């Protein structure tokens, strides 16, 4: 999305508490472009360790104006539609799960500008009892 705007302002020159003069009307054209958010892909949910859900994912960010595009501040992790935690890495271990329950996860990327990207496709896992790694 591109937004063009013109801002008008006046400048007062003050020296040692005395107003020396005012500028004429100044106008500055402001053009901002909201960067497209990054997209989380290939979300994988597994129960390789007993009693926890392990999530991993990839991310694809758009390239804008010969730059690397949007910078990611963090990821938002959703369990069964509810935001449960933020992660700074593209992995997350959910300790708040119960054995024999199934959970569905989605993840989104949040840019440094605070724009949340689309949620990933869902990934589900049923937490099985057993020894870690079994």
Structure tokens at 116: 């949340």
| Per-residue model confidence as pLDDT tens digits over 27-75 | 655 444 556 678 999 999 999 888 899 999 999 987 655 455 568 999 9
Give domain status of residue 103, yes or no: yes
Indicate if 113 and 66 belong to the same structural domain.
Answer: yes
What is the domain count for the chain? 2
Are 110 and 73 in contact by the 8 Å Cβ rule? The answer is: yes
Q: How many CB atoms are located within 10 Å of the residue 125 CB? A: 21
Q: What is the span of the domain harbouring residue 10?
A: 2-33
Structure tokens at 23: 């500028």
Rounded CA gap, 115 and 35, in Å?
9
Give domain status of residue 27, yes or no: yes
Indicate if 27 and 65 belong to the same structural domain.
Answer: no
Indicate if 27 and 43 belong to the same structural domain.
Answer: no
Q: Whole-structure pTM over 0.85, yes or no?
A: no
Indicate if 21 and 44 belong to the same structural domain.
Answer: no
């Amino acid at each position: 999305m591109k937004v063009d705007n013109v801002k008008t302002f006046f400048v007062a020159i003050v020296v040692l508490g005395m107003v020396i003069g005012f500028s004429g009307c100044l106008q500055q054209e402001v053009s901002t472009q909201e960067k497209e958010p990054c997209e989380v892909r290939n979300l994988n949910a597994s129960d390789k360790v007993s009693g926890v859900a392990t999530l991993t994912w990839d991310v694809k960010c758009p390239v804008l104006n010969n730059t690397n595009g949007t910078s990611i501040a963090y990821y938002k992790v959703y369990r069964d539609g509810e935001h449960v935690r933020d992660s700074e890495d593209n992995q997350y271990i959910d300790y708040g799960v119960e054995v024999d329950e199934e959970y569905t996860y989605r993840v989104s990327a949040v840019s440094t500008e605070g724009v949340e990207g689309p949620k990933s496709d869902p990934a589900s896992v049923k937490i099985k009892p057993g020894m870690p790694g079994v």
